[in-house]
Structure 1
C-alpha cells in the first residue's frame, strides 16, 4: 500500500498516510451496515459498532511496519480499543468537550488510527492552542494546558454549539488531513485534533450514508 510520512505544524509530529489500506473495503462497509450500533464512549460524538474478527489480524502487520517507519517505535503493538465509528450527533446537541479539539492519550507509546470508509466525507483536523502554543499535550504539559484552558473558558464562556471548523478564538487549525476512501491515518494520540466536520455536513448514523470510519487506539512499545 502507498505510504507517505508528512508532518504536523511547528512541532513536526509525524502524520502517516496509508492509501489502499484494506484489501476489501467494500466488505467492511457491508459488515458495518449489518452490525448492531451502540452509543459511543469517551465523548465520541456518534455511534460505534464491533469490527469483524479478522480486521485487526489482517491490518496489524502493516500498521506495525508503518508505526516503525513513521514513529520509530518497533515494539509490540497492543490494541487498546478499535471499532467502527460514525459521527452523527447533531451540532446543537454536542457537549462542551465535543466542541473543542482534544487529545486521546498523553504518553509517547500511544498511536491513533483513523481508517476512512465513506467516500466524500470529512477528514481530520489538527490544532495549536493559541495561548500556550501547544500542538501536543503530553504528561509534562497536561496540568498547564488544562489549567489554562479552564481559565479561558471561565472568562470567555464555552464555544457555541457546533463542530470545530477551522480557526477559533482559542485554537489555530494547523493541518487538515483529507479523507479518501480506504485511506488510513496514523498519528500520536497526544496531538490536539478533531474530526474536520464541515457546517451542514450530513450526520447520518447509517453506515451507508454517514461518515463511517474505523478508529483504533494503540500502544506500541519502543
Structure 2
C-alpha cells in the first residue's frame, strides 16, 4: 500500500509529495531495466536513459492524479510529456556548466516532475535550492529573465562553478531541502522548483542499471 505525505520546500512553501512503496512490483521494474537498451540522455541530463515498460505509467497515473489534486490542486487531464529509466553516470569532471547548477524543468504551473528511486540501497536523493542573489526558489515565466540575467552576470564576473555535482550550499545557491532516496520511493514536485540530484562524491556513477542510481524520471502536464 502506497503511503503519501505532502511536505513543503523552503520559504515559498512549494509542495513536495513523498510516495513510499510507490510501484506494486519494483523488482520487476529493475529486471526490465536490466535488459533495456540505455543510451546517452538529451536535454542536459548527466547520464543515460532507456524506455519504460508500456504499463508503467498507465498503472501509476491514477495515484499520480490523486496526489496532484491533493498537493497542487490540479484536477484536470494528465498528459505524459516524457518518461524513462534514468541513471546519473557522468563523471564530475565531465559535467557541462548547466549540469553543475540547480535547474528547473519548465516554467509553468501545470508542469509536474516525478522521480522514482529504484536502487535497493537507497543512495542519492534530490535537493532543492534558493538562488542567493534573487531569493528565488522557483523560476516561473515572470521570473525567468531576471533569474538568468543575474546568473549570467554572476558567472561572468565571479567565474563558473567548478566541475562537480551540487552537494550543498555554494556561493550562488543555498540548499533549502534535501530528500533522501529510498527503494520504491517517488517524489512529485512542480517543475519550476530549483533542484538537482544530490549526488555524493563517493558515488562511482556506474551506468549499469543493477549497480547504478536507477530511477524513473517523468515530466507531466496537468490541467
Q: Under a length normalisation based on structure 1, what TM-score does the superposition of the two structures give?
A: 0.99
1:57 maps to which residue?
Answer: 58
1:98 maps to which residue?
Answer: 99
Q: What is the DSSP-based 3-state SS (H/G/I as helix, E as strand, rest coil) of the residue aligned with 2:142?
A: helix
Match of 2:149 among 147, 150, 155: 147
CA distance in 1, matches of 2:50, 2:3: 28
Q: What is the DSSP-based 3-state SS (H/G/I as helix, E as strand, rest coil) of the residue aligned with 2:143?
A: helix
2:123, 2:180 within 8 Å by CA — same for their partners in 1? no
Q: CA deviation at 1:120?
A: 2.9
Deviations 1:89-109 (A, max 9, x none): 000000000000000000000
Q: What is the DSSP-based 3-state SS (H/G/I as helix, E as strand, rest coil) of the residue aligned with 1:58?
A: helix
CA distance in 2, matches of 1:89, 1:190: 24
Q: CA deviation at 1:200?
A: 2.3
CA distance in 2, matches of 1:69, 1:108: 15
CA distance in 1, matches of 2:135, 2:214: 32
CA distance in 2, matches of 1:200, 1:18: 26
CA distance in 1, matches of 2:203, 2:91: 10
1:85 maps to which residue?
Answer: 86
Instruction: Confirm whether residue 220 of structure 1 aligns to residue 222 of structure 2.
Output: yes
Q: What are structure 1's unaligned runs of at least 5 residues? A: none
1:170 maps to which residue?
Answer: 172
Q: What is the DSSP-based 3-state SS (H/G/I as helix, E as strand, rest coil) of the residue aligned with 1:139?
A: coil
Q: CA deviation at 1:32?
A: 0.3
Q: What are structure 2's unaligned runs of at least 5 residues? A: none
Q: CA deviation at 1:178?
A: 1.1
Counterparts of 1:1-222 in structure 2, within 5 Å, are 1-118=2-119, 119-221=121-223
Q: CA deviation at 1:202?
A: 2.2
CA distance in 2, matches of 1:184, 1:59: 11
Q: CA deviation at 1:121?
A: 1.0
Q: CA RMSD in A?
A: 0.5
Q: CA deviation at 1:201?
A: 1.1
CA distance in 1, matches of 2:193, 2:42: 19
Q: What is the DSSP-based 3-state SS (H/G/I as helix, E as strand, rest coil) of the residue aligned with 2:108?
A: coil
Q: What is the DSSP-based 3-state SS (H/G/I as helix, E as strand, rest coil) of the residue aligned with 1:29?
A: helix
2:105, 2:192 within 8 Å by CA — same for their partners in 1? yes
Deviations 1:121-142 (A, max 9, x none): 1000000000000000000000
